[in-house]
Amino acid sequence: MKKEIITEANKLFEKDGVHDTYLREVKIYTTSKYDPLSPFIYDVCLILVLQGKKIGHLAQNTLVYDCENYLVVPTTLPLECETYASKEEPFISLVISIDKKVMNEIIDYVAIRKNTICKKNSLAIFSDSVTEDIEDLTLRLLKILKSKEESTILGSSILKEIFYRISVGENAHFLHKMFLNTNNEAKIVRALKTIHDDFNVPLDVPSLARQEDMSVSSFHTHFKKITSHTPLQYIKKIKLNRAKDLLSKHHYQVNAVADELGYDSASQFSRDFKSYFGYPPKEAKPSFEKDIVIK
């Protein structure tokens, strides 16, 4: 990213953490500390890294997002992420919620040539190269974020252009597929939303498959291709991330959380929680970044 971009970004925050802007879709996240590999749930968003680097892991897949590569998360996914930052060079990023209605309009326009502009990719997350157009748009966005008036009047058009630029990126294949409502990618995306929204009710794979008019075997196969997790692994990770929220933000007791998530015992819940996060439920603490990557 250009030095001017860092200069403009630094005008929008004074300390580490999550910072709101005059555009509700845009937040700034910054940290001056290295964060070791930690699990998060990423919702539908675009992450533009202005300084520093993150490495995300989705099962055996590794994604680097830094000043040269942005990250697009077209659907809700659990990732393990490592953040590289220091006091001398803090990690700075823009986290932009993707407007599905606007993106759907854009995909309709560019779908006719999607097969020639995008590499085939079944994974429901991708990184792509930051182009000069995207750098210029990032700078324009940062400049208007200093003004409520400019953000209100100009913000939506700049965001729409950013969404267009990522939709024609080399690796944007899945982004196109998920907006075609009858194909398997769109069906799995709807199932992911169901799991995300109904994390505290019993969910089983046959019911999820039936809801999308898919066989269990087809549902399982496409689910694994898209998320790198089996449906049961995905459900478990969503539940455990929600459990962390209940413990750290809402001060639930461990027994109450285990019951809320449908565990047969608090001890089994505690074992699963510690295995996933690396510490017991009673030590759960809120994460600033999690406030912007999970909805």
Q: Which amino acid is at 121?
A: N
The tokens describing 160, both together, are 């729409």
Is the pLDDT score of 290 beyond 90? no
Which whole number is the average pLDDT over 145-171?
Answer: 96
- Work out the angle at residue 105's Cα, subtended by the Cα atoms of residues 100 and 110, and round it to the nearest 5 degrees: 115
Separation CA 295–CA 286 (nearest Å): 14
Distance between terminal CA atoms of the chain? 28
Lowest-confidence region among 63-72, 110-119, 123-132, 166-175: 110-119
- Cα–chain-centroid distance for residue 24? 16
What is the structure's pLDDT at 295?
Answer: 45
Strands in 52-156 per DSSP E? 53-58, 61-66, 69-73, 77-84, 91-97, 126-129
The CATH superfamily of 190-212+230-293 is Homeodomain-like (1.10.10.60)
- Cβ contact 45:38 at 8 Å: no
Identity (one letter) of the amino acid at 102? V
Distance, C-alpha 284 to centroid of its chain: 21
Q: What value does the mean pLDDT of the chain take?
A: 90
Contacts of 113 (CB under 8 A, 6+ apart): none
Instruction: List the domain boundaries for the chain.
Output: 3-177, 190-212+230-293
pLDDT of the residue at 84: 96
> 239-276: per-residue pLDDT in tens?
999 999 899 888 899 999 999 998 989 999 999 999 99
pLDDT in tens, 177-191: 777 665 888 899 999
Rounded to 10 degrees, what is the CA torsion of 215, 218, 219, 223?
180
| Residue closest to 186 by CA, chosen among 236, 222, 133 | 222
Residue with tokens 């694994």: 224
Summarised one tens digit per residue, pLDDT across range 27-54 is 999 999 999 998 888 889 999 999 999 9
192-210 pLDDT per residue, tens: 999 988 888 888 999 999 9
* Higher-scoring residue by pLDDT: 141, 173: 141
Pick the closest to residue 209 from 185, 236, 230, 188 (CA basis). 188
> What's the confidence (pLDDT) of residue 154?
98
Question: CB 166: neighbour CB atoms within 10 A?
Answer: 24
Assigned fold of 3-177: Jelly Rolls (2.60.120)
Among 125, 6, 48, which Cα is nearest to 292's? 48
| Tokens standing for residue 57 | 């892991």
Per residue in 58-79, pLDDT (tens digit) is 988 999 999 999 999 988 888 9
Reading the block at residue 89, the tokens are: 């060079």
Q: Which residue has the higher pLDDT, 221 or 123?
A: 221
pTM, full prediction: 0.85
CB-neighbour burial class of residue 24 (10 A; exposed 0-12, middle 13-18, buried 19+): exposed
**Region of residue 52 (phi > 0: left; psi between -120 and 50: alpha; otherwise: beta):** left
